[in-house]
């Protein structure tokens, strides 16, 4: 089986997730600039989730690009990843509406953690299929970022119980880590 | 006619269906962990429908992958399948909101039944086009799972009148049957 | 320019339109079978619009399949068609909620008419680009169905002023005309 | 990396954005023709945003068509563009509901400006990757329209503070400028 439909389906789901979140941004009934102020926490949540879904899309793009074929296990590992990502808009909305209260921020972090773990399982499924000598195995290397992300999420989750904003900043740091270009890996994959 | 646009359109519709269901998961106005409890039935329904739509996508992927071309009848058999699938979010929402009452669970089962029948009709349309000697006919074999699913749905529907949860468990069993990997068929299709 | 992205974008828009209509089907708060009865007009409207969007997708599929390339005029003729199709969910919702009153049914017919005219303009734009000796010109022939549809819509619109259901039946007849397989044309296009 | 998935993802996001705006067009509860009148400003906003998103899709189509490959910077420049476009439905809804008041019109213009700037950054990222001798550089030329658009948006924004409709007309003029076919560029790109 080729990778084209897995790409198309994942692109579709991620494109929908990244855009339906904007439906939470309800226009105010007032016409003043100040009436936008209550939307600021919603917008911050939207921005972070947009970036996270963007990161998953870019990484997924790199990962599948380096893969030659898929099997049933890979298809389901991919659907499993999409399931956790699909709950991101829900947690984003709860977090924004409650101005980053403890439990919404914890739930958001739990989803990020589960998404990271399911991404790791997808990587495992692809590596099992392609073998340790494959281009994919070479391109992925030790997958340092993927593993460190899971640790970061766990620490951020614990810190969110002290104060939600500390946990939130932990999630932001993971996003920044992924946004910093990693030319070495990119060169290998291309 | 080639299969690429039928794939793209089906991928689009299934991707949208699998994600708009999450819009039913309205964030609570409260900030406590307990405020998520009323969402549990909605989440269970979401999870089951996510899995069912995932199964249809994976099976559709296998089916079209083994096909070489399509005709007008196949296009309409496919649209017919998408019609029944498109009503799944509605039945999922009704079932979740009413905490799995009798009629919502029955309606959900009726939709699963009609989706299974329309999938069977799509298989028939493709087999008529490709002929009994085709790779497709060989890959599908006796289509045991497809036929047994229809029987399972009918029995589950009848049992849902005794108690909705018994019917619901019947639907879950069909999903589990499809999730168990079937390496023999997969090898043939690939 | 090749046709692939025009196909992908149109597939995306039509897939979204055909599925967001289902969001109008709000689950009842009651758990009885009777509580579904008020949804019947909404469901009838949904079914008709699903079929119409399905017809447009199938015809669009045939049309672009017979085309080799596109230009700026074709891209905009296509966006123009998608604009009128994008208003179908709005008219469907109004028609269903008002139980097929006169003005909603008239508006629905006006949109079908404008969609048919814009489809005709898309056909013209493609024919101008491909020339009268092209495979496309041969496959389309006299485009009898396209022209008769426009006449049917105009008559149905006039009749909708006498009684909305008469107009509605006119729209249904056009849909049935398109659903009847037209093997001669299909063979040519393939 | 090839351009196909960047195209597919962008097509998906733009297709969703262009269609979810129609969800703002809520059908009136009345059945008279007059009951549609309050929807006219919403419809005008919808039409303009539909055209703007259509322009971005067509230009994006031309731009990526003239490109041979992408890198991580291009992927993120593209996601950055999609972020600003994704806020268009929000500003459109606010503008329509408030009958084109000052601040909603200003916000709409700011988003158009940021979208134009992020499109410019995407062009830069692609030019850096392909080099000054590439087909892409030749096809883009001096990118006069792109630069003049940014100036037009800035002037329109300033004028919107005098009267929102003057600013709005400025945005419409930019749209018209892009809709006028530019055969010279199109020939080069094809």
- From CA C15, how far away is CA C8, in angstroms rounded? 10
**Which is more confident, C103 or C23?**
C103
Mean pLDDT, chain C, as a whole number? 91
* CA of D135 vs chain A CAs: smallest distance (Å): 21
If we measure between CA atoms, which residue out of B135, B66, B15 comes closest to residue A78? B15
If we measure between CA atoms, which residue out of C159, C183, C162 comes closest to residue C171? C159
Please, which residues have CB within 8 angstroms of residue A37's CB and are 6 or more apart in sequence? none
Long-range CB pairs of B165-170, under 8 A, 24+ apart, other chains included: B165/B100, B165/B105, B167/B105, B167/B106, B167/B109, B168/B100, B168/B105, B170/B109
What does the DSSP 8-state code read for residue B70?
A: -
* CA of C15 vs chain D CAs: smallest distance (Å): 9
- Cα four-point dihedral sign B21, B23, B27, B29: negative
If we measure between CA atoms, which residue out of D113, D115, D112, D94 comes closest to residue D103? D94
| pLDDT tens per residue across span B49-63 | 999 999 999 999 989
Q: Is the pLDDT of residue A186 over 60?
A: no
If we measure between CA atoms, which residue out of A97, A96, A91 comes closest to residue A110? A91
Q: Is the pLDDT of residue B144 over 90?
A: no
User: What are the chain B neighbours of C186 within 8 Å (beta carbons)?
Assistant: 71-72
Banded pLDDT at B32 (limits 50, 70, 90): very high
Please, which residues have CB within 8 angstroms of residue C156's CB and are 6 or more apart in sequence? C109, C166, C167, C168, C169, C170, C171, C173, C174
Q: Is the pLDDT of residue A185 over 60?
A: no
Q: Given this model, what pLDDT does residue B140 score?
A: 82
Q: Given this model, what pLDDT does residue C40 score?
A: 93
Banded pLDDT at C190 (limits 50, 70, 90): very low
**Cβ(D71)–Cβ(D126) below 8 Å:** no
Are D54 and C76 inside 8 Å of each other by CB?
Answer: yes
Give exposure, B111-132, as e/b (b: 16+ Cβ within 10 Å): bbbbbbbbbbbbbebbbebbee
Q: Is the pLDDT of residue D190 over 50?
A: no
Q: Which of A138-147, C34-43, C159-168 has the lowest mean pLDDT?
A: A138-147
Q: Which percentage of chain D shows pLDDT scores above 90?
A: 75
Are D54 and C71 inside 8 Å of each other by CB?
Answer: no
Task: Report yes or no: D8 at the A interface, CB cutoff 8 Å.
Answer: yes
Average pLDDT over residues D8-24: 92
User: What are the chain A neighbours of D82 within 8 Å (beta carbons)?
Assistant: 18
- From CA C82, how far away is CA C76, in angstroms rounded? 10
Neighbours of chain D (3+ CB pairs under 8 A): A, C
Banded pLDDT at A132 (limits 50, 70, 90): confident
Average pLDDT over residues A88-110: 95
The neighbour count for residue B22, using CB atoms within 10 Å, is: 20
Please, which residues have CB within 8 angstroms of residue D93's CB and are 6 or more apart in sequence? A27, D21, D24, D42, D45
Q: Is the pLDDT of residue D114 over 50?
A: yes
If we measure between CA atoms, which residue out of D187, D58, D63, D186 comes closest to residue D124? D63
Are B72 and C22 inside 8 Å of each other by CB?
Answer: no
Closest chain B CA to residue A17: B19
Q: Given this model, what pLDDT does residue A187 score?
A: 56
Please count the CA atoms within 13 angstroms of the CA of A54 that sit on its side-chain side. 25
**Cβ(A11)–Cβ(D5) below 8 Å:** yes
Mean pLDDT, chain B, as a whole number? 91
Are D71 and A190 inside 8 Å of each other by CB?
Answer: yes
- From CA C20, how far away is CA C89, in angstroms rounded? 8
**Cβ(A37)–Cβ(A9) below 8 Å:** no
The neighbour count for residue A188, using CB atoms within 10 Å, is: 15
If we measure between CA atoms, which residue out of C69, C62, C70, C64 comes closest to residue C189? C62
Closest chain D CA to residue C22: D23
| pLDDT tens per residue across span C96-108 | 999 999 999 999 9
Q: Is the pLDDT of residue B115 over 80?
A: yes
If we measure between CA atoms, which residue out of B101, B46, B36 comes closest to residue C28? B101
Across the interface, of A11, A16, A50, the residue whose CB is closest to D8 is: A11
Q: Which percentage of chain B shows pLDDT scores above 90?
A: 74
**Cβ(B89)–Cβ(B23) below 8 Å:** no
* Model ipTM value: 0.91
Banded pLDDT at C132 (limits 50, 70, 90): confident
Q: Which percentage of chain A shows pLDDT scores above 70?
A: 95
**Which is more confident, B183 or A14?**
A14
**Cβ(A72)–Cβ(B181) below 8 Å:** yes
Q: Given this model, what pLDDT does residue D27 score?
A: 92
**Cβ(A13)–Cβ(B15) below 8 Å:** yes
Q: Which of A21-25, B81-85, B94-98, B111-115 has the lowest mean pLDDT?
A: A21-25
C-alpha gyration radius of chain A: 18
Q: Given this model, what pLDDT does residue B101 score?
A: 94
Average pLDDT over residues D83-93: 96
| pLDDT tens per residue across span D159-188 | 999 999 999 999 999 999 988 866 555 555
Distances (CA, A) of B103 to A89, B89, B189: 30, 15, 39
Banded pLDDT at A59 (limits 50, 70, 90): very high
Q: Given this model, what pLDDT does residue C187 score?
A: 56
Q: Given this model, what pLDDT does residue B190 score?
A: 46
Q: Is the pLDDT of residue A142 over 80?
A: no
Banded pLDDT at D24 (limits 50, 70, 90): confident
Q: Is the pLDDT of residue B69 over 60?
A: yes
């Amino acid at each position: 089986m080729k990778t084209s439909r897995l790409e198309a389906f994942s692109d579709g789901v991620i494109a929908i997730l990244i855009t339906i979140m904007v439906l939470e941004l309800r226009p105010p009934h007032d016409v003043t600039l100040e009436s936008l102020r209550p939307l600021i926490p919603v917008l911050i949540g939207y921005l972070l989730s947009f970036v996270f879904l963007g990161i998953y899309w870019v990484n997924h793009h790199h990962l599948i690009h380096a893969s030659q074929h898929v099997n049933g296990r890979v298809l389901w590992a991919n659907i499993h990843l999409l399931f956790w990502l699909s709950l991101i808009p829900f947690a984003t909305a709860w977090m924004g509406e409650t101005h980053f209260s403890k439990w919404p921020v914890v739930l958001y972090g739990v989803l990020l953690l589960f998404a990271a773990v399911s991404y790791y399982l997808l990587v495992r499924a692809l590596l099992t299929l392609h073998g340790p000598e494959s281009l994919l195995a070479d391109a992925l290397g030790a997958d340092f970022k993927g593993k460190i992300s899971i640790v970061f999420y766990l620490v951020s989750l614990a810190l969110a119980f002290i104060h939600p904003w500390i946990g939130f900043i932990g999630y932001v740091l993971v996003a920044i880590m992924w946004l910093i270009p990693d030319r070495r890996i990119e060169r290998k994959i291309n």
